């Protein structure tokens, strides 16, 4: 039997969990700056596009197991940050160094963290 994220439903679940993680990042960031929920999509879209690009890249590079903490997870994380920041810059949104650093660290914790937990649970069940 295939691993869950190798199936279409598992892949969709993995993308969904990642998107939820990015939404959490955006909501917390906006709240910490006293910004309302109305601008959520403006802040979210560059990172959501980067996330999707990362999943496509992982598939193209042969990393079908996008739930993996290893290369696929790193590809998704790096793509989310890099593409997200490039799109923020070209759309006139802020890309200050402090924001980039916080983004790198928080998205690493969120996007790689849940994969690590899932891997540890799966390993324990074996």
pLDDT tens-digit readout, 42-75: 999 999 999 999 999 998 887 666 556 678 899 9
- Rounded distance, CA 118 to CA 65, Å? 12
User: How many domains is the chain partitioned into structurally?
Assistant: 1
DSSP assignment letter at 6: G
Among 110, 120, 126, residue whose Cα is nearest residue 21? 110
Q: What are the b/e assignments for 85-107, b being 16+ CB within 10 Å?
A: bebbeeeeeeeeeeebeebbebb
Percent of the chain whose predicted confidence (pLDDT) is above 90: 67
State which residues form the domain around 108: 4-125
């Amino acid at each position: 039997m295939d691993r869950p994220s190798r199936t279409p439903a598992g892949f969709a679940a993995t993308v969904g969990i990642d998107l939820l993680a990015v939404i959490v990042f955006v909501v917390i960031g906006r709240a910490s700056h006293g910004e309302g929920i109305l601008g959520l999509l403006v802040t979210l879209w560059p990172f959501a596009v980067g996330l999707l690009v990362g999943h496509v890249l992982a598939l193209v590079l042969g990393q079908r197991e996008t739930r993996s903490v290893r290369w696929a997870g790193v590809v998704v994380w790096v793509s989310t940050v890099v593409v997200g920041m490039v799109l923020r810059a070209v759309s006139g949104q802020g890309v200050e160094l402090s924001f980039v650093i916080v983004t790198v660290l928080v998205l690493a914790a969120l996007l790689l963290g849940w994969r690590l937990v899932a891997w540890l649970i799966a390993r324990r069940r074996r």
